[in-house]
Amino acid sequence: MSELLFWLDIFGIIVFALSGALMAGRYQLDPFGVIVLASVTAIGGGTIRDIILNTPVFWVEQTYYLWIISATALLTIVFIRRPKRIPKRFLMIADAFGLALFAVLGTEKAISLGTSYTAAVVLGTITGVAGGMIRDVLCNVIPMILRQEIYATAAALGGALFVLMVHLQVPEYISIIVAVSSALTLRLAAIYWQVSLPAFQILEQSDKD
């Protein structure tokens, strides 16, 4: 892993762990619950990706990820006394950063292990969205991926752009920056302007019809 990928990965872990810890604070979980929610948010998607790829799960081999997550969760508890006072949009922005980073980094790892470009985009999307989905399910909230939110679409865009630039032999660091920035921009724009995808709806006919 190049130095850029390493630090982006660490940043993504911290951001997603923060997102999970803030969600735990909103639902008044105890410190253990905060760490659990931060952990599943930060490493859930990557764990599923590695299992599908039949490769060693990254945090099992490199346990410093768990220490970083625990430290992030504990610092959140210490310094953020009232998570409910933090605007909900801040949580969504933190989640957007993690989504964009992990979607692209997950795609990169899949390509490096020899998967096809199509499978790499799918696995990158899973890496980006699965952790947040598990977090929301544990908090009894409808996951954003199942709502009208532009969420998985942003992750898929980042992965697809990265794959395209790899195919065009664009330097890796440029490919990562452009792909992450594009996914993040789409997600933040959707949050700011409240843009969503059209909902699929089946209207039931009245008895008179």
Residue 208 lies in a domain: no
This prediction has a pTM of 0.91
Task: Confirm whether 177 is domain-assigned.
Answer: yes
Phi-psi region of 140 (alpha: psi -120 to 50; beta: other; left: phi over 0): left
Q: Which pLDDT value is given to residue 83? A: 67
In a domain, 109, yes or no: yes
Is residue 37 included in any domain, yes or no?
yes
Q: Is residue 209 part of a domain?
A: no
Q: Is residue 200 part of a domain?
A: no
**Structurally, how many domains does the chain consist of?**
1
| Residue 156 covered by a domain | yes
Q: Decide: 191 and 99 in contact? Cβ < 8 Å.
A: no
Domain that holds residue 15: 3-193
Q: What's the pLDDT tens digit per position in 194-208?
A: 887 787 778 776 555
Q: What is the pLDDT, as a whole number, of residue 1?
A: 55
Taking only the tens place, the pLDDT of each residue in 139-195 is: 999 888 887 679 999 999 999 999 999 999 999 999 999 999 999 999 999 988 888
